[in-house]
Structure 1
Amino acid sequence: MGMERIDTLVIGAGQGGIATSEHLGRLGLAHVVLERGRIAERWRSERWDSLVANGPAWHDRFPNMAFPCDGDDFADKASVAAYFEAYAQMVAAPVRTGVTVQAVTPLAGRAGFHVGTSEGEIEAQHVVCATGPFQKPAIPPIVPESPDVLQMHSTAYRNPQVLPEGAVLVVGGGSSGAQIAAELHAAGRDVFLSIGPHDRPPRRYRGRDNVWWLGVLGIWNMDTPAPGTEHVTIAVSGAQGGKTVDFRRMAQAGIGLLGMTTGYADGVLQIADDLKANLDAGDASYLSLLDAADAYVARTGLDLPDEPEARVIPEDPACVTDPVRSLDLRAQGIGTIIWATGFRFDYGWLKADALDDTGRPRHQRGVSPVPGLFFVGLPWQTRRGSSFIWGVWHDAKFIADQIAIQNGYMAYHHSRG
Structure 2
Amino acid sequence: MTTEKIKTDTLIVGAGQAGVAMSEHLSKLGVPHLVLERNRIAERWRTGRWDSLVANGPAWHDRFPGLDFDDLSPDEFAPKERVADYFEAYAKKFNAPIRTGVDVLKVERNVGRPGFTIETSEGVIEANRVVAATGPFQRPVIPPIAPIAPIAPQDQPFLQIHSADYRNPQQLPEGAVLVVGAGSSGVQIADELQRAGKQVYLSVGAHDRPPRAYRNRDFCWWLGVLGEWDQAAMKPGREHVTIAVSGAHGGRTVDFRGLAHRGMTLVGLTQAFNGGVATFQPNLAENLARGDENYLALLNAADAYIERNGLDLPQEPEARITFPDPECVTHPILELDLAKAGVTSIIWATGFATDYSWLKVDAFDDKGKPQHQRGVSSEPGVYFLGLPWQSRRGSSFIWGVWHDAKYVADHIAIQRSYLDYHDAAQREAEVVSLAPKKTVSA
**Residue 153 (structure 1) aligns with:** 162
Matches within 5 A, 1:186-265: 186-265=195-274
* CA contact 1:171–1:341 (8 Å) conserved in 2: yes
**Residue 38 (structure 2) aligns with:** 36
**Residue 304 (structure 1) aligns with:** 313
Q: Distance in 2 between matches of 1:82 and 1:37?
A: 14
Q: Distance in 2 between matches of 1:71 and 1:358?
A: 41
- Deviation sequence 1:361-408 (CA, Å, 0-9, x none): 100000001111001110000001111001100100111111110000
Relative to structure 1, is the Cα distance of residues 320 and 147 closer, same or farther in structure 2, using a 3 angstrom cutoff?
closer
In structure 2, runs of 5+ residues without a counterpart are 153-157, 433-442
**Residue 144 (structure 1) aligns with:** 148
Q: Does 1:405 align with 2:414?
A: yes
* CA contact 1:32–1:95 (8 Å) conserved in 2: yes
Using the size of structure 1 for normalisation, the TM-score is 0.98
**Residue 382 (structure 2) aligns with:** 373
SS at match of 2:136: coil
In structure 1, runs of 5+ residues without a counterpart are none
Q: Distance in 2 between matches of 1:117 and 1:79?
A: 30
- Deviation sequence 1:181-207 (CA, Å, 0-9, x none): 000000001111001000000000000
TM superposition shift of 1:146: 2.7
Q: Does 1:94 align with 2:97?
A: yes
* CA contact 2:151–2:275 (8 Å) conserved in 1: no
Q: Distance in 1 between matches of 2:199 and 2:114?
A: 58
Of 9, 12, 18, the residue aligned with 2:11 is 9
**Residue 364 (structure 2) aligns with:** 355
Paired AA for residue 186 in structure 2: G
* CA contact 2:151–2:276 (8 Å) conserved in 1: no
Paired AA for residue 125 in structure 2: I
* CA contact 2:55–2:80 (8 Å) conserved in 1: yes
**Residue 286 (structure 2) aligns with:** 277
- Deviation sequence 1:191-224 (CA, Å, 0-9, x none): 1100100000000000000000011001000000
TM superposition shift of 1:315: 1.3
Paired AA for residue 370 in structure 1: E
Q: Distance in 2 between matches of 1:115 and 1:164?
A: 44
**Residue 328 (structure 2) aligns with:** 319
Q: Distance in 2 between matches of 1:266 and 1:23?
A: 54
Using the size of structure 2 for normalisation, the TM-score is 0.93
* CA contact 1:57–1:75 (8 Å) conserved in 2: yes
Q: Distance in 2 between matches of 1:124 and 1:216?
A: 41
Q: Distance in 1 between matches of 2:201 and 2:115?
A: 51
**Residue 71 (structure 1) aligns with:** 74
**Residue 155 (structure 2) aligns with:** none
Q: Distance in 2 between matches of 1:173 and 1:199?
A: 10
* CA contact 2:206–2:240 (8 Å) conserved in 1: no
Q: What percent identity do the matched residue pairs reach?
A: 62
Matches within 5 A, 1:172-183: 172-183=181-192
Paired AA for residue 367 in structure 1: V
Paired AA for residue 166 in structure 1: G
Q: Distance in 1 between matches of 2:349 and 2:312?
A: 40
Paired AA for residue 33 in structure 1: V
* CA contact 2:55–2:78 (8 Å) conserved in 1: yes
- Deviation sequence 1:246-287 (CA, Å, 0-9, x none): 001111110010001110112001110010010000000000
Number of aligned pairs?
A: 417
Q: Distance in 1 between matches of 2:118 and 2:226?
A: 43
Q: Distance in 1 between matches of 2:340 and 2:135?
A: 40
Q: Distance in 1 between matches of 2:182 and 2:114?
A: 45
Segments of 4+ in structure 1 off by > 3 A? 413-417
Paired AA for residue 296 in structure 1: Y
* CA contact 1:139–1:339 (8 Å) conserved in 2: yes
**Residue 113 (structure 1) aligns with:** 116
Of 40, 43, 48, the residue aligned with 1:46 is 48
Paired AA for residue 225 in structure 1: M
TM superposition shift of 1:231: 2.5
In angstroms, what is the RMSD of aligned CA positions? 1.2
* CA contact 1:145–1:151 (8 Å) conserved in 2: no
Q: Distance in 2 between matches of 1:57 and 1:147?
A: 43
Q: Distance in 2 between matches of 1:17 and 1:146?
A: 41
TM superposition shift of 1:147: 7.4
* Higher Rg: 2
- Deviation sequence 1:220-249 (CA, Å, 0-9, x none): 000001121122100000000000000011
* CA contact 1:9–1:33 (8 Å) conserved in 2: yes
**Residue 29 (structure 2) aligns with:** 27
